[in-house]
């Protein structure tokens, strides 16, 4: 019963956070520019910051990779309430099938979202799956981050998970798209994506400090 209730409680809580926060978007024109070219893309964001995106990207024409765990089931349901689709899989369970599904989704005219260090870490280390999907699809990776002036940090979590709080100054920051060519080294590209994600995350934190 509790697991069935959690997504509704989470959705309601994030809605209150969004309604009471002052949100600023930095370089949002990056995605507008890609859409204008009919170029779909891969949102990449650290697992630590995923909660606020269920508000800032509510109703987005996107599908986000969510693990097949029981916790993943609650996250997928929260996303459904937020009008965001889910692709079920992870690096350890159903990864190959999920990658093929994301490539198909990109080809159908939707964007996809991935937490490159999820679902279990190591924190802020980009796994090959993210860059492999970019290479297979030809879609660029767009690093994004968010931060809030008021937030609760779960220090015991492997990534020091952030829970945004109401009445915050909030920011969503976009980075420049990263393309992965057919001959590119995936390890090098993963390092490039990680550096870009760290940069936009640090920028977001500074903007609400």
String of DSSP letters for 154-192:
ETTSTT-EEEE-SS-EEEEEE---B---TTS-HHHHHHH
Per-residue model confidence (pLDDT) at position 91? 58
What's the pLDDT at 92? 58
Distance CA 45, CA 190 (A): 13
pLDDT class of 193 with cuts at 50, 70, 90: very high
Q: Which helix (H) or strand (E) element contains residue 146?
A: strand 141-148
Q: Which of 38-47, 71-80, 103-112, 182-191 has the lowest mean pLDDT?
A: 71-80
pLDDT tens string 18-59: 999 999 999 999 999 999 999 999 999 999 999 999 999 999
pLDDT score recorded for residue 142: 98
123 has a pLDDT exceeding 90 = yes
Q: Which percentage of the chain shows pLDDT scores above 70?
A: 97
pLDDT at 95 over 80: no
Closest CA to 100 of 109, 88, 116: 88
Q: How far apart are CA 26 and CA 23, in angstroms?
A: 10
Distance CA 63, CA 26 (A): 22
Q: Residue 157: what pLDDT?
A: 96
Which secondary structure element, helix H or strand E, spans residue 38, and what is its range? none
Topology annotation, domain 2-208: Glycerol-3-phosphate (1)-acyltransferase (3.40.1130)
Q: What does each C-alpha distance from 118 to 4, 31, 72, 121, 209 come to in angstroms?
A: 23, 23, 11, 5, 26
Q: What's the rounded Cα separation, in Å, for the pair 124 and 194? A: 7
What pLDDT is attached to residue 3?
A: 80
Domains of the chain, by residue range, sit at: 2-208
């Amino acid at each position: 019963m509790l697991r069935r209730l959690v997504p509704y409680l989470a959705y309601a809580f994030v809605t209150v956070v969004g309604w009471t926060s002052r949100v600023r978007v930095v370089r949002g024109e990056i995605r507008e520019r890609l859409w204008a070219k009919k170029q779909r893309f891969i949102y990449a964001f650290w697992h630590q910051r995923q909660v606020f995106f269920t508000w800032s990207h509510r109703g987005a024409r996107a599908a986000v990779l969510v693990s097949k765990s029981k916790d993943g089931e609650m996250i997928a349901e929260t996303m459904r309430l937020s009008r965001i689709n889910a692709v079920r899989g992870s690096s350890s369970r159903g990864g190959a099938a999920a990658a093929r599904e994301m490539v198909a989704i990109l080809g159908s005219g939707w964007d996809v979202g991935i937490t490159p260090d999820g679902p279990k870490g190591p924190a802020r280390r980009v796994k090959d799956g993210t860059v492999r999907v970019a290479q297979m699809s030809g879609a660029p990776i767009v690093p994004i981050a968010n931060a809030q002036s008021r937030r609760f940090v779960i220090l015991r979590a492997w990534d020091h998970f952030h829970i945004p709080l109401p009445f915050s100054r909030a920011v969503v920051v976009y980075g420049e798209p990263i393309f992965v060519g057919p001959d590119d080294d995936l390890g090098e590209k993963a390092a490039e994506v990680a550096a870009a994600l760290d940069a936009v995350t640090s920028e977001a934190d500074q903007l609400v400090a």
